[in-house]
Structure 1
Amino acid sequence: MGAVTVSGLKVTYRRAGSGDPLVLLHGGFGFDSRSWGPQLDALDDEFDVVAWDAPGCGGSDDPPESFSMEQYADSLAEFTKALNLTRPHILGLSFGGALALALYARRRTLPRSLILAGAYAGWAGSLPADEVQRRVKLISEDVTQPPDDWLPKYLPGMLTESAPREMAERTLALMSGIHPRASLTMLRAMANADLRGILPDIDVPTLVLHGERDARSPLAVGKELHTKIPASKLVVLPGVGHLSNIEAADAFNSEVRTFLRSLSSPIRP
């Protein structure tokens, strides 16, 4: 584990390999850089893979309760600068996908490419208002309780019922590291984010990678992102749920590798 200070906060991360930089942005619900284990282990032969713990996740400090999606994005930009990552590829899953879009909106020349996995244009930008309200109410009530009392009921939204039991148990263990107060901060940021306006302006190569059976970010959300982002590529992983990087790691890694290899021209400063 490494650590840097950005926006006045300690931010921890995992790093492996060498090559073009690839920054991995995890989802919410207690996930952190550990959820990218299958990618850190498989893509490090070709890329400098960096998985951060977002503020309020893993070993990172909790941010102020008022932290917005824009502030998460600014912290991410500072993080890439602190690690001297020049025009990194940005791969975000779920909340991390929305964060990747927010980063692009704030620092358009920073990402070399975007990979949006099980992503949203923010909840306000991808879900009906009543569904956003339902999620906010439910999670706000649950997160005040002991994690063991409520986290298991969210697991079916992350993986399909065909996922091996051991995989489900490992995923639940990852989720149990949740920072309750910081998760409410992340929840508010995600619920209020509406990044639809930036989608038509994205002019870096973009891969929309979505699980066919994603119950958290339905496939229709991924298709909408693909429709609105010019020249984006949509890949649907059959039979896979929200955490496609875990449930179908080999297929996920293959699609990421194929996409990034197609961008083989040298990085421009």
Structure 2
Amino acid sequence: MHSIDKYKNMAILKTLHKFLSSKNTLFHMNRQKMAFSIKPKEEFIDINSKKINYLKIGNGPNNIMCFPGALGTIWSDFKPQIEGLNQDVFTVLVWEPPGHGFSRPPERILTSKFYEEDADTANDLIKALKFEPFSLLGWSDGGISGMIFAAKYPQSIEKLVIWGANSYVHSKDIENYESIRNIKNWSERASAPLKKLYGAETLQDVQNSWCDAMLEIKRKGGDICGYLLEKIECPTLILHGDKDPLVGLEHPEHLMTKIKRAKLHRFPEGKHNIHLRYAKEFNDIVTEFLLSKMK
């Protein structure tokens, strides 16, 4: 009996050892997943009398700052990057520009100058937080402000990653924008969280001001930041979803011809939100680009 018990105990110990060694057990849970059992704390800072909400997370030696899209917030626009990028490699700063998310009140009515205004406010923010140098990730409107930032403040930025961004608007773009002017035309999935945050009336007012700003830019010739593209010196990665309903392929191809050190990666089935829909692939591509040595 003692011999049988001995072998039973050995089998139990072997099974227990195997269990404890498994990558899928609680004892070996990924530190990054554990960190998000409690939502990271956002903070406020006053920048030129503007209340700016931001989140900084990670302890890596490589700084990243994320610029959201139109009306986007920290979590609506960059949740997969906050949770998915390696926090031992990167320190990630995500901000909400004036009028976005909790960087309000006041509510913001947009003009044709808002892209450059956001780039300038971001520059003041990174200086206040002593967050230089850094690489910039910009989506949609955030990509446009990101290009302006890279051109105006080259000493602060190491690399630039943009997607869903354009440097000019033409008639087809205006048609696309007008099709989403009325928030009733948005999908419930897209509109519900923003209505909850802003309220339907405010959301519609801001959307109207955004569309009007695009029309004003078009009336002035259509250029948003094309005149600055040749001043972008840092290595630049342009990503694009080939099925993007708002930004046609001509826009990233144009950026490729104007930005000196740019390369393009396309997602054949991707739409406007490739970083959300293909988060793992997106994060891997961006990580490789940011950590690579480029001449």
Does 1:117 find its partner at 2:160?
Answer: no
Residue by residue over 1:90-142, the C-alpha shift from the partner in whole angstroms, topping out at 9 and shown as x without a partner, is 11011010010121233232221110112111xxx1x31x23443555555x2
In 1, distance between residues paired with 2:55 and 2:164? 22
Matched, 1:246 2:276: yes
- Which of 144, 149, 153 does residue 107 from structure 1 map onto? 153
Q: Is the Cα contact below 8 Å between 2:137 and 2:143 reproduced in 1? A: yes
- TM-score normalised to structure 1 length: 0.79
Q: 2:125 aligns with which of 58, 66, 79?
A: 79
Residues 98 and 39 of structure 1: CA distance in aligned 2, closer, same or farther (over 3 Å): same
**What's the counterpart of residue 3 of structure 2?**
none
From the superposition, tell whether residues 132 and 233 of structure 1 become closer, same or farther in structure 2 (CA, over 3 Å).
Answer: closer
Shift of 1:214: 1.3
Give the one of 172, 197, 201 matched to 2:227. 197
Secondary structure class of the residue paired with 2:157: coil
Q: Counterpart in 2 of 1:260? A: 290
**Structure 2 Cα separation of the partners of residues 54 and 231 of structure 1:** 27
- Alpha carbons of structure 1 residues 216 and 134: separation in structure 2 relative to 1, 3 Å: closer
2:58 aligned partner: 17
The CA deviation string for residues 205-245 of structure 1, in whole angstroms up to 9 with x for no partner, is: 10001112211112221121112211211111231111001
Structure whose CA Rg is larger: 2
Inter-CA distance 114–233: structure 2 relative to 1 (3 Å threshold): same
Q: Deviation digits for residues 246-268 of structure 1, max 9, x if unmatched?
A: 01001110110000011489xxx
Residue correspondence of structure 1 range 143-162 to structure 2 within 5 A: 147=183, 149-152=184-187
Provide the rounded CA distance (Å) in 2 between the counterparts of 1:172 and 1:242: 15
Q: How far has the Cα of 1:48 moved from its partner?
A: 0.7
Q: Which amino acid counterpart does residue 101 of structure 2 have in structure 1?
A: G
1:32 aligned residue (46, 70, 73): 73
Matched-pair contact (CA < 8 Å) for 1:114–1:206: yes
Distance in 2 (alpha carbons) for counterparts of 1:5 and 1:184: 27
Work out whether residues 237 and 289 of structure 2, in 8 Å CA contact, stay in contact via their aligned partners in 1. yes
Is the deviation greater in 256-265 or in 173-182?
A: 173-182
User: 1:228–1:264: structure 2 CA closer, same or farther, 3 Å change rule?
Assistant: closer
* 1:84-103 to 2 correspondences below 5 Å: 84-103=130-149
Q: Which runs of 5+ in 2 are unaligned?
A: 1-41, 218-222
Root-mean-square deviation (Å): 2.4
- Alpha-carbon distance, 1:44 to partner: 4.1
Output the CA distance in 2 between the equivalents of 1:99 and 1:190: 14
Change (3 A) 1:174 1:226: farther
Q: Which amino acid in the other structure matches residue 229 of structure 1? A: I
Q: What does the per-residue CA deviation read over 1:69-90, in whole Å, with 9 as the maximum and x for residues that have no partner?
A: 2211111111111221112101
Conserved? CA contact 1:118–1:210, under 8 Å = yes
Contact 2:67 2:138 in 1 (8 A): yes
Contact 2:166 2:252 in 1 (8 A): yes
Q: CA deviation at 1:36?
A: 0.3
